[in-house]
Amino acid sequence: MKARVEAGTDIALVGAWDAALQSDVLAEPSDAVLDADASKARLFLIRTGGDGGGPVDVYVEEEMPPAVRRLVRRVGKEHLLSLPSGHLMIGGVEDYRCASPRITDADSAIAIPPGDYAVACFVTPGEETGFDPPTAAQLEAGLGEREYRYHRRVERIALCGYLHLLWFPVLWPVLGWKWALGLMLVTLVTWMSVQERVLARNARYQAAMARVNELWKRAMQGGNPTLVLALRRVDERGALAGGSVRLESAQEA
């Protein structure tokens, strides 16, 4: 099977772990605890070298298509990952065994057969990542001509709020830069606050935005992954051991 999840991190660590571990909350998260859990095959650590994220494609007991295999680069060796509940969670390690996850959610988990797995990590070179945003024609086709024009009109009106920035050079000579800056910011923040409340109650706009967001989501799903994880079920652990990889160690295919 193949699945895709969105994974991001603010601490330069992405991981894969059994979702059931979330009930075993860490009292004092630390690098030592994370490394210990990785060595025990409870957590597979990916040291990304920087914050950020993107789509992660997961292949479970399935070969990557040749086009994907040519695209990615292998990172390190296979490692052992124990998934006794069969619910594979992928995301920022700041959410690992966390009482109140901030980055991961239900969409970050994949249901697979419980057991032990050999997991291999692959990275897509930076120039090959990303996706093509939906075009104006695609948005119009998805919304319909009337709703697309309505959505564009509302967006243009919303952007007019930034014209309040023009008050600064007008008021500066009269009031001084501090008062000019303060009045400009108050006006801008008030406009944005009122606009947000009005649009939140506008059912027509919210319905249009829901369709726009779905079109963006589809476009993102069609893009190249940032990372690829390949999992194969193992009955005997043998020499396999838990651990971590660094994206800097990616090798040519």
Summarised one tens digit per residue, pLDDT across range 149-192 is 998 998 888 887 777 778 788 888 888 888 888 888 888 888 88
Can you say how many angstroms the Cα of residue 104 is from the centroid of all Cα atoms in its chain? Answer: 9
Alpha-carbon gap, residue 91 to 76, rounded angstroms: 19
Average pLDDT, the chain: 88
Residue 120 and residue 94 in one domain: yes
Residue 126 pLDDT class (50, 70, 90 cuts): low
Residue 67 and residue 189 in one domain: no
Residue 191 and residue 240 in one domain: no
Residue 113 and residue 7 in one domain: yes
Beta bridge partners of 185: none
pLDDT over 60 at 129, yes or no? no
Residue 194 and residue 153 in one domain: yes
pLDDT the model gives residue 128: 52
By DSSP bridging, strand 43-47 and strand 244-246 are parallel
Beta bridge partners of 9: 52
pLDDT the model gives residue 115: 96
Residue 62 and residue 145 in one domain: no
Residue 122 and residue 190 in one domain: no
Residue 121 and residue 140 in one domain: no
Residue 105 and residue 23 in one domain: yes
Q: Return the half-sphere exposure (C-beta side, CA atoms, 13 A cut-off) of residue 205.
A: 15
Of 128, 124, 134, the residue nearest 57 (C-alpha) = 124
The total number of structural domains in the chain stands at 2
Can you say how many angstroms the Cα of residue 50 is from the centroid of all Cα atoms in its chain? Answer: 14
- Concatenating the DSSP letter of every residue in 23-75 gives GS--SS--HHHHHHHHHTTSEEEEE-SSSEEEEEEEEESSPPPHHHHHH-EEE
Residue 118 and residue 176 in one domain: no
Q: Cβ(253)–Cβ(72) under 8 Å?
A: yes
Q: What is the domain range of residue 174?
A: 136-216
Residue 24 and residue 118 in one domain: yes
- What is the pTM for the complete model shown? 0.69
Give the least confident one: 37-51, 143-157, 207-221, 225-239. Answer: 207-221
Q: What is the mean pLDDT of residues 136-144?
A: 88
Q: What is the mean pLDDT of residues 230-251?
A: 88
- CATH number of the CATH domain containing 125: 2.60.34
Q: What percent of the chain has pLDDT over 90?
A: 47
| 177-200 helix and 145-159 helix, angle to the nearest 10 degrees | 160
Alpha-carbon gap, residue 56 to 35, rounded angstroms: 22
pLDDT over 50 at 252, yes or no? no
Q: What is the mean pLDDT of residues 78-103?
A: 94
Residue 110 pLDDT class (50, 70, 90 cuts): very high
Residue 72 and residue 195 in one domain: no
Give the least confident one: 125-139, 198-212, 226-240. Answer: 125-139
